Chains A and B, each alone.
Chain A
Amino acid sequence: MCDTCGCNITPGNQHLVSEGGKLEHTHDGKKTVDVMHDLLHENDHQATHNREHFNTRGILAINLMSSPGSGKTSLLEATIDALGKEYKIAVVEGDLETENDAQRIRAKNIPAIQITTGTACHLDAHMVHDALHDLDLDGIDILFIENVGNLVCPASFDLGHHLNVTLLSCTEGDDKPAKYPVMFRASDLMLITKADLLPVLDDFDTQRAEKYFRQLANVSPVFTLSSRKQQGMDQWLNWLKYELQKHRKQVTQNTHSHSHHSHSHHHHHAT
């Protein structure tokens, strides 16, 4: 979000902008400054910077979010098996502790950087940026950022990624979109995972899950798949290929029509 052009000001909050202009002096000698900054202004600034790194290299960055144990890492393993020869994939893993997920990805000869957040319940743009220092970004087509398993906090932090993919495993209950609306509203794709278990889970209704998802006014696609049993993987893989192509086209158009905006600060990146 931009903080300077006024696009933060919506019909719902425009009454908060005082008529007197940016700076007012109140009677008791206090100064009041109108701000209209996003609460996560610094994170958003860093996220924009991260996105520039991705865009200049034509990388599609995908933020994978879900509750713990819904199959994010298994989905990545299956995706690497299917697309790893055709596309260069890299992974940033976020967990409170352990290198376990990164090791699973590295076992497939895919570069993986593990961020251990300690007590933090989400990744932020600064953590991702630090991780990018350890990753050779050249030649990468798709970067997956596997967020900390949590349906609440990760939704509020832009990492500089292009698309949010939210997993809902059918062992969790089909009303998760209604219970965690902020995350599911932000999803560019919802994947109902562990579909091979659906026949024994008679209380999970995929149509009901989609109905709750649509009630969040979300027009994004919903796919049902099983990474383990290789069911329904094609829709997901085709979506990835399509989104990568679309992203590449957009990035190329933007570099032709705009001069490249570069930041004034410099970083040393692994190249």
Chain B
Amino acid sequence: MHELSVCHSIVSQAIAIAKEHQAHSIAGISLAIGPLSGVDIHLLRQAFPFASVGTLAEDATLDAEPLPIRVRCTQCNNESDATPNNLVCSVCGNWQTQVISGDEMLITRIELEAPEERNYV
């Protein structure tokens, strides 16, 4: 249940960016999360309202894109799909692979409600 800590971190980063852009509020936060990050998307969604209540991100939608696990074999150099507890190369069966995607936990994008343009008449 470290997802609440993760949500607090997401909210505080989003607020910092919103303030930088003088935004009224945060409309949406987009994440990209791989299964090897150790962060569970479902739990993150559940924890988010507790971390965002009373902040600029209170009404923000949380969009989390799950990323696939991909490995590159250090022997045959092929790339293949893998599962969290089996990162073995599916082409040649070698276990010495490198994870090229699937351990990310990123804030990719933040959507802000921009301040209204001032009309000087």
Which A residues have a C-beta under 8 Å from some C-beta of B? 8, 10-13, 16-18, 25-26, 29-43, 120-122, 124, 152-153, 155-157, 177-179, 181-183, 185, 212, 214-217, 219
Contact = CB atoms under 8 A, between A and B. Distances in A.
A177 B86 CA distance: 10
A115 to B, nearest CB: 15
A29 B114 contact: yes
Given A31-B112, A42-B9, A182 B100 contact: no
Given A16-B32, A156-B39, A37 B114 contact: no
Interface of B: 1-2, 5-6, 9-10, 12-13, 17, 21, 23, 27, 30-34, 36-39, 65, 67-68, 70-71, 84-88, 95-102, 104-114
A10 B37 contact: no
Nearest to A154: B2
Given A10-B100, A215-B88, A182 B113 contact: no
B95 to A, nearest CB: 5
Given A8-B106, A178-B85, A37 B101 contact: no
Contacts of A32: 109-112
A32 B109 CA distance: 7
Contacts, number: 142
6 contacts: A12-B70, A33-B109, A35-B13, A40-B105, A155-B38, A219-B96
Given A33-B109, A39-B31, A156 B101 contact: no
State the majority secondary structure of interface residues on A: mixed
A217 B70 contact: no
A185 B36 contact: yes
Contacts of B68: 12
Q: Which 5 A-B pairs have the closest CB atoms?
A: A12-B101, A153-B2, A182-B38, A217-B87, A156-B38
Given A16-B32, A38-B107, 17 more contacts: A11-B100, A12-B67, A12-B104, A13-B32, A18-B109, A35-B13, A35-B17, A36-B107, A39-B106, A43-B9, A153-B1, A156-B2, A156-B6, A156-B38, A177-B85, A182-B36, A217-B97
A43 B87 CA distance: 27
Given A12-B34, A30-B111, A121-B2, A37 B97 contact: no
B120 to A, nearest CB: 18
Given A8-B106, A11-B100, A181-B85, A157 B112 contact: no
A23 to B, nearest CB: 8
Given A11-B70, A12-B100, A39-B6, A215 B108 contact: no
A182 B96 contact: no
A216 B87 contact: yes
Nearest to B116: A29
Contact of B107 (A35, A153, A185, A214): A35
Contacts of A181: 36, 84-85
Nearest to A215: B86
A43 B71 CA distance: 27
A219 B13 CA distance: 35
Nearest to B17: A33
A8 B101 CA distance: 10
Contacts of A121: 1-2
Given A10-B104, A217-B98, A30 B84 contact: no
B9 A41 contact: yes
A36 B98 CA distance: 22
